[in-house]
Chain A
């Protein structure tokens, strides 16, 4: 008798298992870091028998770099409406969604979909996953100690040099993303946030350079979240959810989020399918699953960014649904604005402006 026979017999079930695992369909999801409810993935796997391979990125640049090279292997990606989602859609890197395969498509708020249509005419390439605003993360106590009369609800706090000079001592940080900061500066100047006009671009750059000596750090939004949770900085310009996440990590840090009264930039993170996705059918089922009210409410409860499914409201935790920093009140939404791509030449000019702002000259 073959002495290895017992081993071979023992191996058989393992081989069978490996075979079924190989035959089991797989869905490759590429999402932002800290940006999902783990139970959503679990539920999708159990219901569909599709195994989810979940991978994360921490900047749009990383996502776009991978997608631009082609054959990324991902089935579902989560690019932000501007600039990445719009650019990828224009470049033909995204698949047109088949709405017949996404019965829950209609759960989305039509008003929010209309906002995204500026980036993706006809909403053909993506469903809204989560959205948010760009505004100020503040420590009112420390700011009050240095500048008792400075406004806490306006970009004036950061962008007026006399205010910035006074609060510089407790630390000002701005996220290192020209595409997300320059539109807000234009808005504060009373100009069109999407302006491609050279004079407007110069004005925005001059405004940024005027406060540059008072800015302690220009770093990634993830690094800002980290520093805020550690108790650093008293005034930052970043994404709403990053401030809310830092509040969760350090509840007694005296941290507050403020939407500027000039109007905050709205952004949308989209569920989209790469044109060369290996498993587009599973990707559409995943998008459909995420648009269920109970599922997407679980995500909002977990990561504290609002979703675009009004019917999810009853499934939200009370403190999440009532938090104006998560769900802005209607009058704040009315003041907010969305951006659209200003075109390659203006984009390049903005990138150069941003470099000069960082360099301080």
Chain B
């Protein structure tokens, strides 16, 4: 029984992580072909195809999209953390309001993800609520372009991923020992200094986890840039979609997915190393 329980995570990893990843890797080394499915594998007679990975590394189109995704994901994760850190700490210290506030953070999950994005579209569009309000107040004459902008895209991303950043900070903040802050006060530290010197450093690992929890899914995000973002935001998710569905080039789409994965493993390794040292 105990062995079975130990095998379970291994099985999980093998079935849901390693196997799909192997499929993607094989596809990245395959040849595009007309047929069902639209590629021929390395054992199909043509051998291994190294061109897809080379294309990803050499063609500025793909490099740009990877870079743009990392910048957008970093901005999203940074903004989320900026909001989540005070929120998480405040909720942990909210006393009898704590459960209600925590529920409020989780409540958006009760509405479908696409419904929430649809609501943003309704608010931001030219004939939408915000432009209607601005015009009713006489602040603008023509509608201000809000939808399909970088700002709309970041807004949607931060809104979607904020709970993932709040929860780790909140969880760490509830486990803090209040005696430490009291000890700092007894030794003469002002509340501000005690917070910055004692409380905040204890939350750094949780904040790093929150940052990564947002960064990683945000880097591959497809739906939000597609529905709220400008056409020029050719993030890697959209390029993978374009290659897979538009050009029906499954091998190049797979190679691009692998490149994104490789890029995202770096910060995770860095985080683990920091965790061990801290």
Contacts and interface: CB of A to CB of B under 8 A. Distances in A.
Q: Do A and B bind each other?
A: yes
Interface of A: 59, 61-62, 64-65, 67-70, 87, 90-93, 169, 171, 176, 216-219, 227, 230-233, 275, 344, 347-348, 351-352, 355, 358-361
Contacts of B242: 351, 355
The listed residue with most B CB atoms (<10 A of its CB), out of A92, A216, A352, is: A216
Contacts of B246: 61, 351
A347 B125 CA distance: 33
B46 to A, nearest CB: 16
Interface in B148-194: 148
B232 A348 contact: no
A64 B245 contact: yes
Contacts of A64: 245, 248
B244 A70 contact: no
Interface residues of B, number: 27
The listed residue with most A CB atoms (<10 A of its CB), out of B34, B125, B234, B250, is: B34
Interface string B103-130: 0000000000000000000000111000
B266 interface: no
B61 A232 contact: no
A65 B243 CA distance: 11
B142 A169 contact: yes
Given A68-B37, A87-B34, A348 B247 contact: yes
List the 5 closest pairs (A to B, CB-CB), nearest first: A61-B245, A358-B231, A218-B231, A359-B232, A70-B36
B278 interface: no
A257 B35 CA distance: 38
A64 B37 CA distance: 11
B245 A62 contact: yes
Contacts of A275: 36
Nearest to B239: A355
Contacts of A352: 61
Interface in B184-240: 231-232, 234, 239
A133 B126 CA distance: 27
Contact of A216 (B148, B241, B245, B249): B148
A91 B38 contact: yes
Contacts of B244: 65
Contact of A171 (B126, B234, B241, B245): B126
A159 to B, nearest CB: 17
Interface in B32-52: 32, 34-38
A352 B248 CA distance: 13
Contacts of A70: 36-37
B87 to A, nearest CB: 33
Nearest to B250: A68
Contacts of A176: 231
B20 interface: no
The listed residue with most B CB atoms (<10 A of its CB), out of A87, A90, A91, is: A91
A45 B242 CA distance: 38
B267 interface: no
17 contacts: A61-B245, A61-B246, A65-B244, A65-B245, A68-B37, A69-B37, A70-B37, A91-B36, A218-B231, A227-B126, A232-B126, A232-B127, A344-B32, A348-B247, A351-B246, A355-B239, A355-B242
Given A216-B145, A219-B148, A355-B234, A67 B36 contact: yes
Given A92-B36, A176-B231, A358-B231, A351 B248 contact: no
B140 to A, nearest CB: 12
A233 B231 CA distance: 17
Contacts of A231: 127
B152 to A, nearest CB: 12
The listed residue with most A CB atoms (<10 A of its CB), out of B126, B234, B241, B249, is: B126
B35 A92 contact: yes
A90 B34 contact: yes
A347 B247 CA distance: 8
Contact of B34 (A62, A91, A216): A91
Contacts of B247: 347-348, 351
A97 B237 CA distance: 38
Contacts of B239: 355
A186 to B, nearest CB: 19
B253 to A, nearest CB: 11
A298 B133 CA distance: 43
Contacts of B248: 64, 68, 87
A96 B148 CA distance: 43
Contact of B234 (A67, A68, A358): A358
